[in-house]
Amino acid sequence: MSSPSAVGLVIGYAADSLLGDPRRWHPVAGFGRLAGALERRVYDDRRASGVLHVAVLVGGAALLGRCAGRGPLVTAVATWAVLGGRSLDREAAAVQALLEAGDLPGARQRLTHLVGRDTATLDESGVARAVIESLAENTSDAVVAPLVWGAVAGPAGLLAHRASNTLDAMVGHRSPRYERFGWAAARLDDLLNLPGSRLTAALAVLIADDRPAAARAWREDAGAHPSPNAGPVEAAFAGALGVRLGGTTVYAGRIEERPVLHGAGREVAVHDVTRARRLARRVDLGALVVAAATTTLRRRR
């Protein structure tokens, strides 16, 4: 018999797949406003201030989930609130449609909804590459990792992970303002996303048509990526799809020469976005099966 948590995870996943994010009154948007308000009160150019900011917000999210209980309805609502698979796929599809229509400027502009890099000079292949890299990384961050923490800690895990992930997006990047204040948010997000990223990469390898290539790309190329979690998933996706990812990436004010992932692959084409979206959906479903099975087995012990 399935556990209540497993039922809740499945219902919440189905709600996200069918409905996507709530159009109005999204709890994550409310959390972002709360985080911004607290930042204005506690900000100082010190790591200690950032630790306080993260502890209050992530700890508060975990406490809220803990107090709400672990019934199937609570778990379903929390899962729906934190997953982002439908929204991610919708944005990738929108960029793809613009590319297929020959509207490269429109595709570059829409791509800014998915990535933080400078998109103004990207060619068609560069836009498609950016979409696939975002699909890979965010499949891990916005779907697989939350399901992992939902299986481990129920609503408390779901809400704490999403709080951490949101704070990393807000203050975890390297800039003069957040170099020290955002340190705690970035490190906690790396830690909480570590198991999800490895599960994402493993599922991508298992699902790949060319499993040896996907496994080899993960093994040989992931370690050179600047992100300890994006590296494995992007490398595994590159090998699974038979394409090259990585390379020169331009951000506002700086250029990063990222390692090439799966150098034996070919250049990314527009049609590869369809294949990447399909792979991401299969990974999502595989993660749901693993999460639901985990909660059920834990209940039987």
- CA 289, distance to chain mean position in Å, is 18
Judge whether residue 301 has pLDDT over 70: no
Which is nearest to 97 in space by CA: 273, 283, 267, 284?
A: 273
Determine contact, residues 89/280, Cβ cutoff 8 Å.
yes
Lowest mean pLDDT among 17-21, 51-55, 270-274: 17-21
Taking the CB of residue 40, how many other CB atoms lie within 10 A of it? 8
Judge whether residue 35 has pLDDT over 90: yes
Condensed to tens digits (0 to 9), the pLDDT of residues 229-255 reads: 999 999 999 999 999 999 988 887 688
Q: What is the CA radius of gyration of the chain?
A: 19
pLDDT band at 274, cuts 50/70/90? Answer: very high
Percentage of the chain lying above the pLDDT 90 cut: 84
Tokens 């790396």 correspond to 190
Joined together, the tokens standing for residue 153 give 């800690």
CA angle 291, 196, 264 (to 5 degrees): 125
Q: Which pLDDT score, from 0 to 100, does residue 245 have?
A: 97
Strand ranges (E), 117-271: 248-251, 254-257
Q: Which pLDDT score, from 0 to 100, does residue 68 have?
A: 93
Distance from C-alpha of 168 to C-alpha of 155, rounded to nearest angstrom: 20
Domain ranges of the chain: 4-300
Judge whether residue 23 has pLDDT over 80: no
Kindly report the average pLDDT of the chain as a whole number: 94
Q: What is the mean pLDDT of residues 110-124?
A: 93
Determine contact, residues 207/286, Cβ cutoff 8 Å.
yes
pLDDT band at 256, cuts 50/70/90? Answer: confident
Model confidence pTM above 0.85: yes
Lowest mean pLDDT among 6-10, 20-24, 73-77, 92-96: 20-24
Condensed to tens digits (0 to 9), the pLDDT of residues 169-217 reads: 999 988 889 999 999 999 999 999 999 999 999 999 999 999 999 999 9
Q: Which pLDDT score, from 0 to 100, does residue 1 have?
A: 55
Lowest mean pLDDT among 107-111, 154-158, 257-261: 257-261
